[in-house]
Amino acid sequence: MNKRYQLFSQQVVQWYKDHGRHDLPWRKKVTPYRIWISEIMLQQTQVKTVIPYFKNFIQKYPSQKKLSEANEDQILAAWSGLGFYRRARNIFASKEIIKKNYANRFPKEFQQIISLPGIGKSTAGAIMSLAYLDPHPILDGNVKRVISRFLKKELDLLKEAELWKLSKEMVSRDDCFSYTQGIMDLGATICTPTNPSCGMCPVNSQCLSAFKVKPFKKNKAASAKKVIVMNLSLVQTDQSFLLAKNEVDSIWKNLWLPFNSVSLNNYAQNFELISNQKIKHELTHRTLEINLKTYFSLKESEIETNQAYQWIKKDRIDEYGLPKPITKVINEL
């Protein structure tokens, strides 16, 4: 290993041992299963947001075997509110593969892991380094920023292949667990996108950008979020809610939603309109404007539709995957 890179990895390892976020729940008890779930949850989501969802998920499904017994609705229900639901669907698909091909034991080989749905090179590398102590590079946004600043290279000008090469060269062979956790923590807490704390950085004596980082420039021409309008009708009885499974390939695929209002036009006269509200829900790249009508029905009527639907008992609603804004409305009823 390049001596400079070797010193870098040693400094990151020591810094993690002294100042790392050891209290994160997936670091307290390390298993391949727990690392896998945490890494999937942490894709495109901040640590502070993930913590309560991880704790809840692990409480419901503490092991690979327990997860293998869950259906997709139950996994989506445990994920409800965390967003990017494709990740939950990938967990369901992966656990089916693990159950069938690996006897409910999380695979140990890199190529086996990267072949699972929703796992790319960086996530597979993190699992190998953290769960199996087998040194592999990772390359999330934090790591890219740390490496590019350390070498004083413009991140926009670095090719992906070059970044992977550099990341691989810098991985500690002696303590890949502390190094991998350390470089992620370093990017998340010290070498931040704006106003990095160079004075607290363990590698500032070597870093070519230390105390010289240019202020982060926001893209003034950032495109406006796409607005999606949804017209939904939520029907309830004293004991149940009428919900349909969304089988359309969208952000809420396979989640349970109120019917599209048009679909219930022929039935609305049989229900009592309780409320008509507008809900605005912000996602990362789009804004949802939901026009939601809430109705009361004296009985659980049959609906003529090709959609899969159920009258779901109110005391079992937590067993179904619902989007966050719909869960909020139901909880307030």
Q: What is the DSSP string of 97-144?
A: HHHHHSTTS---SHHHHHTSTT--HHHHHHHHHHHS--------HHHH
Which position has the token pair 């992906």?
A: 160
CB 179 within 8 A of CB 1: no
pLDDT at residue 263, as a whole number: 85
Q: What is the pLDDT of residue 268?
A: 84
Query: Which tens digits make up the pLDDT trace of 50-105?
Result: 999 999 999 999 999 999 999 999 999 999 999 999 999 999 999 999 999 999 99
Position 309 pLDDT exceeds 70:
yes
Q: What is the pLDDT of residue 164?
A: 95
Which residue from 24, 105, 29, 38 is spatially nearest to 68, judged by alpha carbons? 105
167 neighbors 137 (Cβ within 8 angstroms):
yes
Q: Which amino acid is at 191?
A: C
Q: Which residues of 287-313 are buried (b: 16+ CB within 10 A; e: fewer)?
A: ebebebbbbebeeeeebeeeeebebbe
Cα dihedral 200, 203, 209, 210, rounded to 10, equals 30
- pLDDT tens digit string along 138-180? 999 999 999 999 998 877 778 889 999 999 999 999 999 999 9
* pLDDT value at residue 219: 52
What DSSP character marks residue 159?
-
| 3-class DSSP state of 5 | helix
Q: What's the mean pLDDT in 25-45?
A: 96
| Catalytic annotation, pick one of 39, 109, 302, 304 | 39
CATH of 3-200, one of 1.20.1070.10, 1.10.340.30, 3.40.630.30, 3.40.50.1370: 1.10.340.30
* Domain ranges (residues) in the chain: 3-200, 226-332
Going by CATH, does the domain composed of 226-332 fall within 3.90.79.10?
yes
Rg of the chain over Cα atoms, rounded to whole angstroms, equals 24
Report which of 112, 130, 205 is spatially closest to residue 171, judged by C-alpha positions: 130
Q: 């607290």: which residue's tokens?
A: 200
Q: CA 278, CA 211: separation in Å to the nearest integer?
A: 48
pLDDT in tens, 187-244: 999 999 989 999 999 999 999 999 998 755 555 545 678 899 999 999 999 999 999 9
Instruction: Identify whether 39 is a catalytic site residue.
Output: yes
pLDDT at 285: 81
Highest mean pLDDT among 126-135, 243-252, 292-301 belongs to 126-135
**Pairing outcome for strands 272-282 and 286-296:** antiparallel
Strands (E) across the chain are located at 226-236, 240-245, 256-257, 259-260, 272-282, 286-296, 309-313
Mean pLDDT, the chain, whole residue set: 93
- Tens of pLDDT along 47-57? 999 999 999 99
- Residue 211 per-residue DSSP state: T
Say what the pLDDT of residue 179 is: 98
Handedness of CA 280, 257, 78, 319 (dihedral sign): positive
Q: What are phi and psi of 97, to 5 degrees?
A: -65, -45
* Number of neighbouring beta carbons within 10 Å of residue 117: 16
Bridge partner residues of 55 (DSSP):
none
When pLDDT is averaged across residues 110-132 and rounded to a whole number, the result is 97
- Which residues pair with residue 245 across a beta bridge? 256
Which of 78, 30, 118 lies closest to 320 in space, CA to CA? 78
Percent with pLDDT over 70 in the chain: 97
Please, which pLDDT band fits residue 283 given cuts at 50, 70 and 90?
confident
As a whole-number percent, the residues of the chain with pLDDT over 90 amount to 81
